[in-house]
Amino acid sequence: MRPGVDLVVVGLGYAGLPLAELACRSGLRTTGFDVDDTVVATLTDGRSPVAGVADADVVAMLGSGFTASTDPAQLGAADVVVICVPTGLTGDRVPDLEPLRAASATVGDRLRPSTLVVLESTSFPGTTAEVVLPILERRSGLRAGEDFYLAFAPERIDPGNTQFGLADTPKVIGGHTPLCAKYCATFYSRFVDAVVVARGTREAELAKLLENTYRFVNIALVNEFARYCDTTGIDVWDVVHCAGTKPFGFASFSPGPGVGGHCIPVDPVYLTTRAGQDGFTFTLVEAAARVNEHVPTRVVDRAGSLLGDLRGASVLLLGVTYKADVPDVRESPARPIAAQLLARGAEVTYHDPHADALDVDARPLRRETELRAAAAAADLTILLQDHQEYDPVLLANAARLLLDTRGKISGSRVRYL
């Protein structure tokens, strides 16, 4: 371990590794800590374990002096520690803060005076002050705002976005005290174009939840529109296209097979859970959740109506990642769709150029590698994600019957939700 580093990133996943890469590129002496031996070994070997950071980027990081380690001793040498651990859901669909508590304890055991500690992991308002701060103070014996500095700065990673990255996406920060905010803003200003200072940590925490809940609710709204249009024989894709031409007052969202990813289906749960603890009910958000949860069932129902009987039918799923052109299958709607198809007696396989494996109810789903042959053999092909690799003409001609959940393909054998 080299003495004195500018930054240690705790958690080298989809949020932490891009942050470390940008910091290295900006000239900051940076190291990384992760409890996963495989992640550390992959990085040490010059390979990237996440999308959005190329192997060449990791090689450049190593060349700049970056090291990844499972040894927490390096935390004691840092001027800044940024926590980027997962904040997902338990099996019961409630917020899981155990990784965050464990990371906070690890940092607190090695915290030295004048260190800036920043939490980037998404969570409900009050997490920084009520969960992270007490652990840091108890384990270190230091006082936040006096002996060390504490802030919240939510990650705003958008996998697959080629227009906006970390550097040119404004960074929201909220400090435990005004002085904490000042140190945090100064730190991010070294490699981010614009810093937005929130009134405090709770405001910054809730801002991140608002961003993704906004998307969650609007996805539910357009999925409701799709159901109505199907009932009345109106072309929902044309409706969305026409409404989207308005240059003000409207943000366009498209129907689909359901919501997925680490943020959109997860963050509203953090919001409504905390709101319930505060004696408040987000009626609109809970209604949106019911709509979005039903969409995979609607896909399967539509498949059943097209085939008449799903028992013994062969169904090919195209694109099982949660988003087009990314390799991430977290919370993908493909899983509940596949599970329901299997439960109704269908034989299900999938094709996806980005996903090497997909498990459904702890069982691996068979992956097809020859797209044209697989589509020609299946009784029904269902397009879930419109990856760039998928040629609409090829699919329209190859598939015996195709259910397009994205409104991208036309042809005599194509049907829509």
Q: Which of 84, 184, 229, 263 is catalytic?
A: 263
Q: Whole-number mean pLDDT of the chain?
A: 96
Q: Is 111 within the bounds of a domain?
A: yes
Active site (annotated) includes residue 229: no
Instruction: Based on the fold, state whether residues 166 and 267 are members of the same structural domain.
Output: no
3-state secondary structure 185-225: HHHHCCCCCCEEECCCHHHHHHHHHHHHHHHHHHHHHHHHH
| Angle (deg, nearest 10), helices 201-232 and 283-307 | 40
C-alpha 280/C-alpha 274 separation (Å) is 9
Taking a C-beta distance cutoff of 8 angstroms, is the pair 382, 390 a contact?
no
Entry field: residues in the chain: 417
Cα 61 to chain center, whole Å? 24
Q: Is 219 within the bounds of a domain?
A: no
Query: Where residue 3 falls among pLDDT bands split at 50, 70, 90?
Result: low
pLDDT, one tens digit per residue, over 165-210 is 999 999 999 999 999 999 999 999 999 999 999 999 999 999 999 9
pLDDT, one tens digit per residue, over 322-367 is 999 999 999 999 999 999 999 999 999 999 999 999 999 989 999 9
pLDDT, one tens digit per residue, over 26-72 is 999 999 999 999 999 999 999 999 988 999 999 999 999 999 999 99
Instruction: Based on the fold, state whether residues 39 and 162 are members of the same structural domain.
Output: yes
Q: What is the pTM of this model?
A: 0.93
pLDDT, one tens digit per residue, over 221-280 is 999 999 999 999 999 999 999 999 999 999 999 999 999 988 999 999 999 999 999 999
Instruction: Based on the fold, state whether residues 76 and 174 are members of the same structural domain.
Output: yes
Q: Which domain holds residue 99?
A: 5-199
Closest alpha carbon to 266 in 213, 319, 222: 213
Per-residue pLDDT, 160: 83
Q: In total, how many domains does the chain have? A: 2
Per-residue pLDDT, 112: 96
Cα 11 to chain center, whole Å? 15
3-state secondary structure 330-392: CCCCHHHHHHHHHHCCCEEEEECCCCCCCEECCEECEECCCHHHHHHHCCEEEECCCCCCCCH
* Residue 87 clears pLDDT 60, i.e. is over it: yes
Q: Is 211 within the bounds of a domain?
A: no
Per-residue pLDDT, 2: 42
Taking a C-beta distance cutoff of 8 angstroms, is the pair 240, 252 a contact?
yes
Last residue of one domain, picked from the residues 164, 182, 199: 199
Find the CATH number of the domain harbouring 183.
3.40.50.720
Burial of residue 342 (CB within 10 Å: 0-12, 13-18, 19+) is middle
Query: Where residue 161 falls among pLDDT bands split at 50, 70, 90?
Result: confident
C-alpha 183/C-alpha 151 separation (Å) is 9
